[in-house]
Amino acid sequence: MVKSYWNEEWKEVEFEEGALQKRYAISNYGRIISYTNKIEDGDYIRGGKLRGYPTLPLRPNGKSKTFYIHKLVAELFLPKASEEQKFVIHLDYNKSNNYAKNLKWASKSEMFAHQQGNPSVLEAREKQKGRKTQQGHKLSATQVMRLKKKINDPNRKTRLKLIAREFGISEMQLYRIKSGENWAHVNVEVPERERD
């Protein structure tokens, strides 16, 4: 038997006919029920969790599928402002708080900007600042400078694979350094005579 909050609203999660034996509804509070005929006669479902997000694992047409609760609430209760908004963010950064007023549709850039204020992200940044700069790195800044000089040498005859082995890093790491994805802050000045 469903006991709703005073302002709780329920909407059916629609699947194709015959995909599931029971019917499912979700509320604007992010609560889920399964029922046969009437929502009022339904049973609450606890659901599951995936990466901290509450989920509804189901098997429509015999195939396992996981539905994120916050996404279902947003699809049923929140209008999108534009087609770019494909992501749902939690305004209070709490993945378990799926109340419709705590959710918002966002574009990828809006979601990224929102995450920059996440207390977990800020805490991780502070921890990172406190670490020794070289802790965990296989290479020092000096080694990276030597490496960059070698890979950018126009007269280089050594294959990148061998250079990677010489410095004790993977080829992928070497390509990331070469493209500037990693160690971009370490610059190597090419002397005038080498430029000609």
For 18-62, the pLDDT digits (tens) are 889 899 999 999 999 999 999 889 999 999 999 999 999 999 888
At 193, the pLDDT band (50, 70, 90 cuts) reads low
CB 42 within 8 A of CB 73: no
Residues 65 and 38 in one domain: yes
Residues 155 and 97 in one domain: no
Residues 100 and 53 in one domain: yes
Q: Reply yes or no on whether the pLDDT at 157 is more than 90.
A: no
pLDDT mean over 126-145: 70
- 164: phi then psi, degrees, rounded to nearest 5: -60, -45
CA distance 21 to 35: 10
SS3 state at 173: helix
Tally Cβ neighbours within 10 Å of residue 146. 15
Domain that holds residue 178: 141-185
Confidence (pTM)? 0.66
Residues 27 and 69 in one domain: yes
As for how many domains the chain has, the answer is 2
Residue 73 falls inside a structural domain:
yes
CATH number of the domain to which 26 belongs:
3.90.75.20
Residues 42 and 94 in one domain: yes
- Per-residue model confidence as pLDDT tens digits over 97-128: 999 999 999 999 999 999 999 998 888 877 76
Which strands form 48-50's sheet, in the order they lie side by side? 48-50, 53-58, 65-68
Residue 107's pLDDT is 96
Mean pLDDT of the chain: 88
SS3 state at 79: coil
Residue 190's pLDDT is 60
Q: Reply yes or no on whether the pLDDT at 178 is more than 80.
A: yes
pLDDT mean over 181-189: 79
Residues 26 and 61 in one domain: yes
